[in-house]
């Protein structure tokens, strides 16, 4: 019947589109291009009907309990073109999540720390996520407890502006970090 590829790749994920002979459900509910319910057919009759009209069957939904597949009778090329345009439009309207990173030293002074916290409050109020990172080099690794204490203190100070996914800071290759998500 149709030898066109059924895999469509999006930038952020892969999804599978079942087309014509790949639809294995014994009962098929056919929708036309305007999403109107045409009828319920056996699989073989639905495939014949689509071939007679020069259209393709594209699976929209599959119900495992009743073993029925809801398909749309469309021109496959036009359908995928429109689907790509719709996805692109959705990506335009979505606001990307931006992660602002603030780097610290484990021995940072109290005034400097308050300045960094003040900046983080501004970021969190603007709906940005903030990552605090303390890098420990060479022998500084023996002060890991101080770094963890600083990050826990920061998390406590910013509790009303942002929340963290984890209770304790995350250990990374060269230090510790904590991410605060805006409320």
- The domains of the chain are located at 7-92, 99-182
3-class DSSP state of 133: strand
CA 96/CA 128 separation, integer angstroms: 10
User: Is residue 14 over pLDDT 80?
Assistant: no
Average pLDDT over residues 16-39: 80
Q: In three state form, how does the secondary structure of 66-88 look?
A: CCEEEEEEECHHHHHHHHHHHHH
- The CATH architecture assigned to 7-92 reads Roll (3.10)
Average pLDDT over residues 147-156: 87
Q: Copy the structure tokens of residue 13.
A: 């994920």
Per-residue pLDDT reduced to its tens digit, 92-122: 877 767 888 888 888 888 898 889 889 988 8
Average pLDDT over residues 58-73: 86
User: Quick one: pLDDT at residue 9?
Assistant: 44
- The CATH architecture assigned to 99-182 reads 2-Layer Sandwich (3.30)
User: Is residue 32 over pLDDT 80?
Assistant: no
pTM (whole model) above 0.75: no
Helix (H) or strand (E) holding 162: strand 162-164
In the block, residue with structure tokens 């400097």:
112
Is the pLDDT higher at 15 or at 45? 45
133, 92 Cβ separation under 8 angstroms: no
The phi, psi pair for 46, rounded to 5°, reads -65, -40
């Amino acid at each position: 019947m149709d030898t066109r590829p059924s895999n469509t790749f999006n930038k952020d994920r892969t999804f599978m589109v079942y087309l014509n002979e790949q639809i294995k459900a014994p009962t098929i509910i056919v929708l036309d291009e305007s999403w109107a319910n045409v009828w319920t057919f056996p699989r073989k009759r639905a495939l014949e009907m689509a071939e007679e009209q020069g259209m393709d069957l594209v699976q929209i939904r599959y119900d495992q309990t009743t073993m029925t597949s809801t398909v749309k009778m469309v021109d496959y090329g036009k359908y995928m073109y429109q689907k790509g345009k719709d996805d692109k439009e959705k990506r335009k309207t979505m606001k990307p999540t931006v992660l602002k990173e603030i780097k610290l030293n484990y021995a940072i002074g109290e005034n400097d720390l308050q300045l960094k916290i003040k900046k983080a409050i501004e970021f969190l109020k603007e709906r940005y996520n903030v990552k605090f990172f303390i890098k420990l080099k060479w022998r500084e690794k023996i002060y890991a407890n101080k770094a963890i204490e600083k990050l826990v203190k920061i998390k406590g100070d910013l509790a009303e502006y942002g929340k963290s996914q984890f209770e304790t800071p995350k250990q990374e290759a060269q230090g510790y970090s904590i991410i605060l998500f805006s409320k």
